[in-house]
Amino acid sequence: MKNRTILITGCSSGIGLCLADGLRERGYRVFATARKSRDVEKLNAAGHESLMLDLDSSESINDAVTEILKRTNNSLYGLINNGAYGQPGAVEDLSRDVLRAQFETNLLGTQELTNKILPVMRQQGAGRIIQISSVLGIICLAYRGAYNATKYALEALSDTMRLELRGTNIYISLVEPGPIASRFRDNALAAFHANINVANSAHKTRYEALLQRLEGKSGKMPFTLPPEAVLEKVIHALEADRPRVRYAVTFPTYLFAVLRRILPARWLDTVLYKVGDSTNK
C-alpha cells in the first residue's frame, strides 16, 4: 500500500483514530485530520501526519486540502468521511440553528470536502471515497431525528454520486455501523445538554431515560463492537477490485437491513419504537 495516500476526518478519537492507526500500520500514507489543535499535536506526537480540518469551516477545509495536495504532488487515493456527531433530542425540540449545525458538520462540510477531492481523483483516473454512515442511515429511532436526517442525506448523496461517477474508476462505499465503542455517546451527551431545553419539553420524562443511556448508567449498548470492526470493512472498500456499495457493521445493521425490507411500515415502527425505548433504558 506504499504511496497510497488517504485523508481521514475526525481522527481525535473512536473510529477515526482506529482507522488512522490501522491504515498507517498497513503501509498507507495517512493524513489524520482533527478539528482541534491539541488533537493535531497529539496525533503528530504519535507519529501521524496530522493537520487541522474542521468540517464547520470552509476555510479550514480549503487549507487542509491545499496543504495535503501540496505534500502529495496533487494526488489522493482515498477519502474517508468519518468526522460527525450526534445531536439527540425530540424533533420538536430542535431549533433551526441546532438542526442546521448538525447538517453543517455531518453533511455539508463533508460534501464540500468531497467536492474538493473529486477533481483530483478524476484527474488521476482512480479513487475511493468511504462514507462512514450508520445503521441510523437506514432506519430511524426516536430522539435521534437530527442525526438520522444527516445520515439519510449522506446515504442519498452517496447513492447519487455513485450514479454520477459510473465508469470513472472512482468508487464510493457506505459503511453502516451499529453501536461501536468510542466517544460518540459522551459527545452526544454534551450536545444534548448544550442544546435541549428539558424543563420545557413535552418529552421531559423520556429524556430522563435518554440521559441514563448517554451517561452510560444503563451499561454498554447490546451488540457493541470495537472500532476495529469498522477498520476491517474500510480495508475491503479500499483494496477490493470491486468494493461493495454498502458495508454493514454489527448485528443490528444486518438485522434492520432485512427487517425494513420485509416488514410493513407500521410493524417496523412497533419494532423501532421498542428498540428505541429499550436502548434508552
Ligand X SMILES: NC(=O)c1ccc[n+]([C@@H]2O[C@H](COP(=O)([O-])OP(=O)(O)OC[C@H]3O[C@@H](n4cnc5c(N)ncnc54)[C@H](OP(=O)(O)O)[C@@H]3O)[C@@H](O)[C@H]2O)c1
Shortest distance (Å) from residue 241 CB to ligand X: 26
Determine if 180 is a binding residue for ligand X (CB under 6 A). yes
Nearer to ligand X, 47 or 168 (CB): 47
Task: Please say which residue, 124 or 228, places its beta carbon nearer to ligand X.
Answer: 228
Q: Check residue 14 for interaction with ligand X (CB under 6 A).
A: yes
* Min separation Cβ 155 and ligand X, Å: 12
Q: Is 77 in the site for ligand X (CB under 6 A)?
A: no
Q: Where are the alpha helices (DSSP H) in 125-183?
A: 145-164
Residue 81 CA to residue 71 CA, distance in Å, equals 20
CA pair distance 107, 110, nearest whole angstrom? 5
Is the C-alpha dihedral spanning 175, 178, 179, 185 positive or negative? positive
3 versus 46: smaller Cβ distance to ligand X: 46
User: Which of 132, 142, 189, 238 touches ligand X (CB under 6 A)?
Assistant: 132
Judge contact between 189 and 86, C-beta under 8 A: no
How many amino acids of this chain bind ligand X (CB under 6 A)?
29
Q: Annotated catalytic residue: which of 147, 152, 207, 247?
A: 147
- Residue 138 as a binder of ligand X (CB under 6 A): the answer is no
The cell numbers describing 203, all together, are 418529552
Is residue 80 within 8 Å of 7, Cβ to Cβ? yes
Chosen residue from 8, 22, 48, 54 binding ligand X by CB under 6 A: 54
Stretch that binds ligand X, among 53-61, 62-70, 93-101, 257-265 (CB under 6 A): 53-61
Q: Does 35 bind ligand X (CB under 6 A)?
A: yes
Q: Does 100 bind ligand X (CB under 6 A)?
A: no
Cα of first residue to Cα of last residue in the chain, in angstroms, is 44
Using CB under 6 A as the binding rule, whether residue 43 contacts ligand X is answered as: no
Q: Is 147 a catalytic residue?
A: yes
Neighbours of 261 (CB within 10 A): 8
Q: Which is nearer to ligand X, 34 or 120 (CB)?
A: 34
> Which helix (H) or strand (E) element contains residue 71?
helix 58-71
* Contact in structure between 207 and 276 (CB atoms under 8 Å): no
Residue nearest to ligand X (CB): 14
- 256 near ligand X (CB under 6 A): no
Residue 213 amino acid letter: R
Which residue, chain included where needed, has cell 440553528?
97
**SS3 for 31?**
strand
From 4, 150, 159, 31, select the one nearest 85 (Cα to Cα): 150
- Active-site residue list: 147
Binding site for ligand X (CB under 6 A): 9-16, 34-36, 53-56, 82-85, 105, 132, 134, 177, 179-180, 182-184, 187
